[in-house]
């Protein structure tokens, strides 16, 4: 392998690393597009720019070529993949952050493919900070409160669905769900939720109490 071949391999490897870093955070959060998807998108974007550069160097003396045309198609085409991660859940729309992260890793891959390593590395670091650290501040915004709701629920199919439907109707963000497994008639469920501005805890508990087979046992404000 010559120096050019090694550079190609390095760019593809960096694309795998950069995309994987962001994808790992999405995978840990159990998002629709995770580690492998982000890795493949970033590597694919790198390959598109390498192919564009190869075509330009090979055929520029024969015909007029725009080396940025293939990259532009990636920017617009990634929207179709991102749209697949966006889901309507009652009154809430989920998956927008994952769709945005896919678009960002595609851009990072393009930057890596043209050798703009510093820009790609900086964007990767800042994207990870945005996804991990800034997420912690969302619950501390004015008018927004995080609560953990403990419930006894009848252990039959559909109970969790009816709870999430109520939360969606109230525009409440679900941050975490844990249900104790077991064969008993009644089991325990724990929801960590973020209440929107203007909605109080009493209203939430009242709506949940109206559900058949659901009893709120405790609700704590999270610090």
- Please tell me which residue, 143 or 218, carries the higher pLDDT value: 218
For the ranges 138-142, 196-200, 216-220, the one whose mean pLDDT is highest: 196-200
pLDDT at 94 over 80: no
Give the pLDDT confidence score for residue 61 in this predicted structure. Answer: 72
Count of C-beta atoms within a 10 Å radius of residue 71: 21
Q: What is the pLDDT of residue 176?
A: 79
What pLDDT does 222 receive?
44
How many residues are recorded in the chain? Answer: 223
CA distances to 29, 35, 77, 102, 129 from 86, in Å? 15, 17, 16, 12, 22
Residue 172 is given by DSSP the state: P
Q: Are 126 and 180 in contact (CB under 8 A)?
A: no
Out of 4-18, 48-62, 128-142, 203-217, pick the least confident: 128-142
Q: Work out the mean pLDDT of the chain and round it to a whole number.
A: 80
Query: Is pLDDT at 209 greater than 80 in this prediction?
Result: yes
Report in angstroms the alpha-carbon separations of 157 from 29, 160, 179, 190. Answer: 25, 8, 13, 17
Backbone angles phi and psi of 183, in degrees to 5: -105, 5
Question: 105 vs 80, which has greater pLDDT?
Answer: 105
Considering the chain, what percentage of its residues have pLDDT values greater than 90?
19
Over residues 14-58, the pLDDT tens digits come to: 999 999 898 888 877 666 667 888 899 999 999 999 998 888 888
Mean pLDDT, rounded, for 102-110: 91
Least confident of 11-15, 73-77, 94-98, 212-216: 94-98
């Amino acid at each position: 392998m010559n120096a050019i071949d090694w550079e190609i391999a390095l760019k593809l490897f960096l694309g795998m690393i950069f995309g994987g870093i962001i994808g790992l955070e999405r995978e840990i959060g159990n998002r629709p597009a995770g580690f492998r998807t982000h890795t493949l998108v970033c590597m694919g974007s790198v390959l598109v720019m390498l192919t564009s550069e190869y075509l330009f160097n090979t055929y520029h003396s024969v015909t007029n070529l725009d080396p940025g045309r293939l990259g532009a198609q990636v920017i617009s085409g990634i929207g179709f993949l991102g749209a697949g991660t966006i889901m309507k859940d009652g009154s809430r729309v989920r998956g927008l952050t994952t769709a945005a992260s896919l678009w960002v890793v595609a851009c990072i891959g393009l930057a890596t493919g043209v050798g703009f390593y510093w820009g790609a590395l900086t964007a990767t670091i800042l994207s990870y900070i945005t996804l991990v650290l800034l997420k912690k501040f969302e619950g501390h915004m004015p008018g927004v409160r995080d609560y953990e709701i403990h419930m006894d629920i009848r252990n039959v199919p559909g109970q969790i669905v009816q709870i999430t439907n109520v939360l969606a109707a109230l525009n409440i963000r679900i941050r975490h769900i844990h249900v104790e497994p077991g064969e008993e008639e009644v089991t325990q469920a724990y929801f960590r939720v973020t209440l929107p501005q203007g909605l109080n805890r009493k209203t939430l508990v009242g709506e949940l109490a109206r559900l058949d087979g659901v009893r709120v046992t405790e609700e704590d404000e999270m610090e």
